[in-house]
Amino acid sequence: MALPNYAYFKGSIVPYGEAKVGVLNHALNYGTAVFGGIRAYWNGDSEQLYLFRPIDHYKRFLSSAKLLCMEFDNTPESLTKVTINLLKEEGFRCNAYVRPLAYKADEIIGVKLHDLQDEIAIVSLPFERYVSNDTNAHVTFSSWRRVDDNVIPARGKISGAYVNSAFIKTDALRSGFDEALVLNEDGHVSEGSAENIFMLRDGVLITPPVTDNILEGITRRTAMELARSELGLTVVERQIDRTEVYICDEFFMTGTAAQITAVTRVDHRPIGSGQMGPVTTQLRGVFEDVVYGRNSEYRHWNVPVYV
């Protein structure tokens, strides 16, 4: 992966090589940082790069920061503006990924959250697919459990908590799967290593509630809204048992990186026919039109970079 050319660092856009922290950096040592992930989609017809729902992403980013007792003057709007300037500087004419990071910047020994220097850094880079088999992924139930709200809150995108995701993902990939699903301590399905999940049973789309140790995904919210308004589906938030997944009709994962990834096998069992189903296929099509700014109804989610 090529490195970015620029970074937003300590309040200004600098060459990427100048955006550095020391080895004693608090966030590096203790995981005391929060991050985001935002996609920008290049629409070749209108020669425009559209950030997808950056205000919603930055609202969640600042909420995550709040969980770590961070205080910033920045607003979702001001961070979106910085991001636009950064993308303009990079001059991308391709799909891109934006990675904001808020971190405890002190170089000290001592575990705590308060009375530390909080900084924000943002970088962006070209980005295409995250899950390579995004029309026919084979996933497994991880032997790991999801971090609990009273351990490290999953609703905050907290860097240290992603060691949990890394355990889950590495074991799945090394066992030959494309991704993994993870259970809560009570045995209910929470999410993927970096994706929310949806199952279709008897025509109803079901996803775990925000109280089941999930990250409150922006793509999850998008998929729910599009499923209701464009596909006319009933969408229900409720707990999901592991074995419901084995017998459901369709299953997909959502995430900024994963977009809408169709899961066609779970633990060697075919989902439905074992092929991507009609609802997932239709939703992926609607989603693609929306993120590339081709559906005027949802244009408020597309923030143009080059104006």
Rounded to the nearest whole angstrom, what is the least distance from the CB of residue 46 to ligand PMP in the complex? 24
Measured from the CB atom, the residue of 124 and 196 that comes closer to ligand PMP is: 196
Residues that bind ligand PMP (CB under 6 A): 37, 165, 191, 194-196, 215, 217-220, 254-256
| Residues annotated catalytic, as ranges | 157
By C-alpha distance, which of 27, 36, 31 is closest to 215?
36
Residue located via tokens 């729910």: 224
Measured from the CB atom, the residue of 50 and 116 that comes closer to ligand PMP is: 50
34 - beta bridge partners?
A: 102, 158
Rounded to the nearest whole angstrom, what is the least distance from the CB of residue 57 to ligand PMP in the complex? 7
- Element housing 115 (H / E): none
Report how far residue 254's alpha carbon sits from residue 192's, in angstroms, rounded to the nearest whole number: 9
Measured from the CB atom, the residue of 13 and 283 that comes closer to ligand PMP is: 283
Report how far residue 300's alpha carbon sits from residue 222's, in angstroms, rounded to the nearest whole number: 12
- Residue 201 φ then ψ, to 5°: -130, 120
Q: If DSSP codes are grouped into helix, strand and coil, which group holds residue 80?
A: helix
Rounded to the nearest whole angstrom, what is the least distance from the CB of residue 281 to ligand PMP in the complex? 20
Rounded to the nearest 10°, the torsion over CA 99, 105, 108, 111 is -60
Measured from the CB atom, the residue of 13 and 38 that comes closer to ligand PMP is: 38
Q: Which two tokens stand for residue 90?
A: 């990079």
Rounded to the nearest whole angstrom, what is the least distance from the CB of residue 33 to ligand PMP in the complex? 14
DSSP 4: P
